[in-house]
Structure 1
Amino acid sequence: MIFAYNPKFVSDTLMVIVADDKNLEQSTDRRGNVARLTTADGRVIGWNFFEISKEMTIDGTGQVTLSAEQIEQLNQIMHAQGFEESLVADSSPKFVVGLVKTCVPHEDSDHLSVAEIEVDHGEVLQIVCGAANIRKGLKVVVAKPGAMMPDGLLIWPGELRGVASFGMVCSAKELNLANAPMKRGILELPADAIVGEAFPIGK
C-alpha cells in the first residue's frame, strides 16, 4: 500500500495505491471527499481522499508515511461515507539493504541477470536486474514491492523477459542521492551494511 501526497502539483489529495492497475480500465465511486478506484472486475486498486488537510496534517511529499492513528482516521472517513473496506497499516520499510545470494545470467537476454536477494527478516526476493555490476555477495539497495521511487515510479511484482521479478535493485541516481556518481550501475554498499536495515532515499 502506497500513500502519496503532493499538494503543490496534484492538489490537496492523498492518494492511496493498494494494487498495480496495469493500465486496466478503471471506474470511480466518489462519495463526499472519498473516491474508490476499481478495475472492471471489481478489484479495488486505490483510494483518493480530497481536501485531506482539513482532516489531518501530512508530513512530507511524494511517498509519505502515515501513523496507525492517521490510517484509522482514514478508515473512519471511509466508513462515514458508506464504504465497507478498511485500510491496514504497513510500517515496514520499502527501501532496504539487501545481500545478493545468487546471480545468474537471464536465459533470454544478453544483459539481464536474475538475482536472489536477501532482504529483511530473512526474506529472499527474486529480482531481474540489468546492471552490469551486480554480483553474488554484493550489498545493495532494494526497492521492495510497494515502494515509490523519487521520480514517482511505483514498484510492483512483474516479469522481465518471462522471468518473475519482485522489486528493483537501485542506483544512487535512481535513489536521488546527493553527489550520486554519474557512472552507470547499481549502488554498491559497504560490506558492513546491515541486511534488512531501512535505507534513506532522496526526494
Structure 2
Amino acid sequence: MLITSYNPTQLGDTLIAILRPDVADQTVEGHANVTRISDAETGKTLGYNFFEVSKTLGQLDVNGQVHLTADQVDQLNTLLKANDFEPDLEFDATPKFVVGHVDSAEAHPKSDHLQITKTDVGEDQPLQIVSGSPNMQADILVVVAKVGAMMPDGLIIWPGELRGVESDGMIVSGRELQLPNAPQKPGALILPADYQPVGEPFDFERAQTLFTA
C-alpha cells in the first residue's frame, strides 16, 4: 500500500509516504534527504519522509494527497536505493473511492446502532463493512472508501474491527466527502439507483451538484 501527501505550507518541500498504520514502538533512520520510519518489532517500513522532493519529482502543484504515476514511484525507489534503503514502494492505480451496492445489512451482535453490511464493490467477494450510519439498509447504492483511501480530512482507511467484527472499508457520507451543501449530520450518502455502475470509481466532479443549497 502506498499513500502519499504533500503540504508545502505546513511541511515545506516534503513528501510524506505512508505504507502501513502507525505503531507505538518505531525506529527512525535518516540518510541525506530521506527518513525511513519502521516498526521496531518487525522491521517493516511504516513510511518515508522525502525532503526537498522537488529535486527528484519536479514541482508538485498539490496541497494534500498526491496520486503518483508509475514513473514517479520508480524515481522515488531509485532515490531510496541511492540512500541505502530498500526500494519497497509499490505503484497502486486501483481506485479507492468506488460505488458500492449494499447487498445486506444485519444488526451487530454487540451494538444497538452498528450494522454489519455485505457490500458489492465489483470484486469477486463483497466487502464486509461495519457501519454506524442511521440510514443504513440493504439494497442501496453508496460510496465506499476502500482500504488505502485517504479521506478529504486526512483520515486513512485501514483494515480494522468494530466491537470484534472485521471491517474492510467505510461507507461514507456526503459530509465526510466534503461535497458542497451536503447535510451536516451522520448518514450514508445514498446515490440514485442508476447513478453509476457498481465498482466504478466515484465521480467526484459530477458529485459537486448532488446536493442543492
Shorter-chain TM-score: what band?
over 0.9
Instruction: Kindly indicate whether residue 74 of structure 2 is the aligned counterpart of residue 75 of structure 1.
Output: no
Whole-angstrom CA distance in 1 between matches of 2:12 and 2:119: 38
Superposition deviation, residue 184 in structure 1: 2.9
Equivalent AA in structure 2 for residue 149 of structure 1: M
Whole-angstrom CA distance in 2 between matches of 1:128 and 1:166: 8
- What secondary structure sits across from 2:88 in the alignment? coil
Which digits, 9 at most, give the CA deviation of each residue in 1:40-71, with x for residues without a partner? Answer: 11121111111111222334222210110100
Quote the residue 1:101 is aligned against.
103
- What secondary structure sits across from 1:74 in the alignment? helix
Whole-angstrom CA distance in 2 between matches of 1:14 and 1:198: 25
Task: Please say if residues 78 and 87 of structure 2, whose CA atoms lie closer than 8 Å, have aligned partners that are also in contact.
Answer: no
Whole-angstrom CA distance in 1 between matches of 2:125 and 2:74: 28
Which digits, 9 at most, give the CA deviation of each residue in 1:143-185, with x for residues without a partner? Answer: 1111111111111001100101111110001001111123431
Quote the residue 2:167 is aligned against.
165
Aligned structure 1 segments of 4 or more residues deviating by more than 4 angstroms: none
Task: Please say if residues 133 and 186 of structure 1, whose CA atoms lie closer than 8 Å, have aligned partners that are also in contact.
Answer: yes
Which digits, 9 at most, give the CA deviation of each residue in 1:68-96, with x for residues without a partner? Answer: 01000001111111112321100011111
Quote the residue 2:199 is aligned against.
196
Structure 2 CA distance for partners of 1:111 and 1:28, relative to 1, 3 Å = same
Choose from 110, 113, 118 the match for 1:111. 113
Identity of aligned pairs, percent? Answer: 49
Figure out how many residues of one structure are paired with residues of the other and give that number.
Answer: 201
Quote the residue 1:61 is aligned against.
63
Which digits, 9 at most, give the CA deviation of each residue in 1:99-139, with x for residues without a partner? Answer: 11111000000000000111133442111100011111111
Whole-angstrom CA distance in 2 between matches of 1:123 and 1:201: 25
- What secondary structure sits across from 1:173 in the alignment? coil
Equivalent AA in structure 2 for residue 51 of structure 1: E
Task: Please say if residues 111 and 130 of structure 1, whose CA atoms lie closer than 8 Å, have aligned partners that are also in contact.
Answer: yes
Quote the residue 2:3 is aligned against.
2
Whole-angstrom CA distance in 2 between matches of 1:31 and 1:112: 46
Whole-angstrom CA distance in 2 between matches of 1:144 and 1:2: 13
- What secondary structure sits across from 1:55 in the alignment? helix
- What secondary structure sits across from 2:103 in the alignment? strand
Task: Please say if residues 113 and 128 of structure 1, whose CA atoms lie closer than 8 Å, have aligned partners that are also in contact.
Answer: yes
Task: Please say if residues 96 and 120 of structure 1, whose CA atoms lie closer than 8 Å, have aligned partners that are also in contact.
Answer: no
Task: Please say if residues 93 and 198 of structure 1, whose CA atoms lie closer than 8 Å, have aligned partners that are also in contact.
Answer: yes
Question: Does 5-14 or 64-73 show the bigger shift?
Answer: 5-14
TM-score by length of 2: 0.89
Equivalent AA in structure 2 for residue 194 of structure 1: P
Quote the residue 2:208 is aligned against.
none
Task: Please say if residues 98 and 139 of structure 1, whose CA atoms lie closer than 8 Å, have aligned partners that are also in contact.
Answer: yes
